Amino acid sequence: MNGREEEPVFEVAIVVPKKREKEGDENRDCVEFLVQELKTAGLIVERVCGISDEFIKLAAPPETLGRAATELQIKKLTYIGMELQFEWDQVTAFVTQPDGSLFSWFERFRCFHHLIYRIVNRTEADLTLKFDDEKKRKQLLKNWALNWLDFTSQPVDEIYLYYGTKIATYFSFLGMYTRWLFFPAALGLALQLIDFGSMQLLVLPAFFIFIISWAVFFFQFWKRKNSALLARWGINYSLSEYKALDTEMNSLNRVHADHEKNFDANKPIEKKILQRDEWLGLLLRIRNNTVVALAIICLQLPFELAYAHLYEITESYTLKFLLTAVYLLAIQYYTQIGGKMSVILINYENNQGEESSSASLVYKVFGLYFMQSYIGLFYHALLHRNLTTLREVLIQRLIVSQVLENLMENAYPYLKYSYKKYKAVHKKMHEQGSSGGKRIRLTTRVEKEYLKPSYTACIGKELEDGLFDDYLELALQFGMIMMFASAFPLVFCFAILNNITEIRTDALKLLVMLRRPVPRASATIGAWLNIFQFLIVTAICTNCILLVCLYDQEGKWRIEPGLAAILIMEHVLLLIKFGFSNFVPEEPAWVKANRVRNVVQVRDMYSKQLLRSISNLEKKRD
């Protein structure tokens, strides 16, 4: 890649199980045949013999990738700002990556995948894909994961080049969030240290207003930053267009798959079909959400409340500790079942495309964790007005559990890796029999990489990768610090310490502990943005109630049941008002299908013709 054709970078490897030598020539022939096929396909091949498997490392010269991209009809941004189908002959028309290479990691991965599976389908061998690029990784390790002095700054472009848009977006969000956290953390610390005397009564509400404004500003500026990132990575859409695009394309494909080719949403019958599909999908989504909500309220809520109540009435520390341990075990189990259930439910929704399924999943799983993380805190804060326990639990959650989680996150893959390595070595030694005073070591990078665990989410592999867990952790932390800000301003300091370590440990985890993840296309924080926005609104309400509790120590401000009912009704209605528009789309499905069909048609029909002109133009310009 990188324009330096002289030294090929091996990025992908094929694993072939190494059979016993006695099985003889047939196997060697088979692998040899595969290598030959790969070479004919234009790839640079290097064979590495591992302990239990054999590895075929692959690199691709730009031309091979280009030809594959042409076959795949990959859409790529051209210099005139339009996305067109890639053509190797008109390569000068296309915008290159920040480091000068032609394809992003996501595109390269698709090309490799295409090249290899084309051969594999012919030869019918059992293959696994994995990745390896030692040089870039070492550089990232130095500049990023081990660069603790930088606090929040990260080499976002390099991350993008190595991991693709989705992971780079996560880290740039995490960095910006941590940087912005400095303001409330400093203020929170000041509030804790300074005694304001008679002004004390006004300080907390002021802090609360500041926090909410801070959060609102932060997310607006994050959207701006995300737009700028999209522009830098050659994605030529506005943020909202980009979010809509994926869904639209997918829905179009679905429509095309369901019905005949020359589907025209202008015709009354097809319009009717689309409308029926749209409303049916809506009903299914409502049903599933009801199921999840009921499960959370009827099963999880009593359990959580029971734990919180027991914690409240237990006196001795040992009992408290035991109780927490039992609770943690039980809840782990419960959330896992809940996550699995959500994934199953998602499959019964006719969501339009992967993007929309994953958003639906995010909402459902977050609902579970929301209940799990906060209901106990609410119980202590609101029902018992017990702010000491609240602070205790907050510190416990933010420090102990996050530190533990970080350790777990890193230790678990390492242990898994060690076990696999041990098993491989053990097997080898067993095979070699008693010749064994000599220790066997894994020497090749490619084999080590193969044994590392992959970057997967706790709730399943299909829809999400490990970023799901990381975003979930971030969202839960954000909810914790925002919703109880006025009860305990110091939380922001804990959060910032936490995040600074989180950046580096997450980086380390990705670079060292895990196999290089399969790149994903998404380049926004997606449904998580809505969750953060929802948490801000919740924070407004909870902080108000906290302030009422704080200032009304004597219980004088009694709220009559009638007044309380009306206030609750008001808040529910406000929620409906702002939540409803997410349920029914602004644009009827048939209008959208028509529009997208047109856009796709024109792009496909005229792309070659356009390309030639652009390419000529670029050549003239040079």
Give whichever of 82 and 323 is closer to a copy of itself, judged by the CB atom.
82
Quick one: which of 387, 366, 368, 369 has its CA closest to 378? 387
Q: What is the DSSP string of 77-104?
A: EBTTS-EEE--GGGGGGBPPPTTS-SS-
Cα dihedral 447, 449, 451, 455 in deg (nearest 10)? -160
In angstroms, what is the minimal distance from the CB of 25 to a copy of itself? 58
What does the angle CA 540 – CA 543 – CA 549 come to, to the nearest 5 degrees? 145
Residue 130's DSSP bridge partners are 13
**What is the helix (H) or strand (E) element at residue 578, kind and residue range?**
helix 561-580
In angstroms, what is the minimal distance from the CB of 558 to a copy of itself? 9
Give whichever of 228 and 400 is closer to a copy of itself, judged by the CB atom.
228
Give whichever of 131 and 208 is closer to a copy of itself, judged by the CB atom.
208
In the chain, what are the helix, strand and coil shares in percent, each to the nearest 5? 70, 5, 25
In angstroms, what is the minimal distance from the CB of 204 to a copy of itself? 11
In angstroms, what is the minimal distance from the CB of 279 to a copy of itself? 12
Give whichever of 79 and 303 is closer to a copy of itself, judged by the CB atom.
79
Give whichever of 44 and 239 is closer to a copy of itself, judged by the CB atom.
239
Within 10 Å of residue 482's Cβ, how many Cβ atoms? 24
Give whichever of 203 and 244 is closer to a copy of itself, judged by the CB atom.
244
Give whichever of 248 and 449 is closer to a copy of itself, judged by the CB atom.
248
How far apart are the C-alpha atoms of 409 and 473, rounded to whole Å? 11
In angstroms, what is the minimal distance from the CB of 343 to a copy of itself? 29
Contacts of 617 (CB under 8 A, 6+ apart): 79, 80, 93
Residue 544 token pair = 């108000």
How far apart are the C-alpha atoms of 130 and 453, rounded to whole Å? 11
How far apart are the C-alpha atoms of 240 and 526, rounded to whole Å? 10
Contacts of 398 (CB under 8 A, 6+ apart): 477, 480, 481, 491, 494, 495, 498
Binding site for a copy of itself (CB under 8 A): 80-82, 205, 208-209, 212-213, 216-217, 220-221, 223-224, 227-228, 230-231, 236-241, 244, 536-537, 540-541, 544, 547-548, 551-552, 556-557, 559-560, 562-563, 566-567, 569-570, 573-574, 576-578, 580-581, 584-588, 591-592, 594-595, 597-599, 601-602, 605-606, 609-610, 613
In angstroms, what is the minimal distance from the CB of 586 to a copy of itself? 4
In angstroms, what is the minimal distance from the CB of 235 to a copy of itself? 10
Residue 44's DSSP bridge partners are 59
Quick one: which of 293, 354, 304, 301 has its CA closest to 330? 304
Amino acid type, 616: N
In angstroms, what is the minimal distance from the CB of 599 to a copy of itself? 6
How far apart are the C-alpha atoms of 396 and 192, rounded to whole Å? 18
Helix (H, G, I), strand (E, B) or coil at 593: helix
In angstroms, what is the minimal distance from the CB of 47 to a copy of itself? 45
In angstroms, what is the minimal distance from the CB of 610 to a copy of itself? 6
Amino acid type, 231: A
Task: For residue 317, report the phi and psi dihedrals to the nearest 5 degrees.
Answer: -70, -35
Give whichever of 204 and 365 is closer to a copy of itself, judged by the CB atom.
204
Using CB atoms within 10 A of its CB, is residue 162 exposed (0-12), middle (13-18) or buried (19+)?
Answer: buried
Q: Report the length, in residues, of the chain.
A: 622
What DSSP designation does 52 have? S
Q: Which residue has the tokens 């959208």?
A: 592
Give whichever of 293 and 548 is closer to a copy of itself, judged by the CB atom.
548
Give whichever of 26 and 554 is closer to a copy of itself, judged by the CB atom.
554
Quick one: which of 145, 176, 166 has its CA closest to 478? 176
Give whichever of 76 and 137 is closer to a copy of itself, judged by the CB atom.
76
Give whichever of 335 and 524 is closer to a copy of itself, judged by the CB atom.
524
How far apart are the C-alpha atoms of 612 and 87, rounded to whole Å? 9
Give whichever of 34 and 531 is closer to a copy of itself, judged by the CB atom.
531
In angstroms, what is the minimal distance from the CB of 482 to a copy of itself? 12
How far apart are the C-alpha atoms of 303 and 327, rounded to whole Å? 9
In angstroms, what is the minimal distance from the CB of 211 to a copy of itself? 10
Do residues 415 and 385 touch, judged by C-beta distance below 8 A? no
Residue 55's DSSP bridge partners are 15, 48
What does the angle CA 145 – CA 148 – CA 154 come to, to the nearest 5 degrees? 60
Give whichever of 82 and 442 is closer to a copy of itself, judged by the CB atom.
82
In angstroms, what is the minimal distance from the CB of 522 to a copy of itself? 17
In angstroms, what is the minimal distance from the CB of 219 to a copy of itself? 8
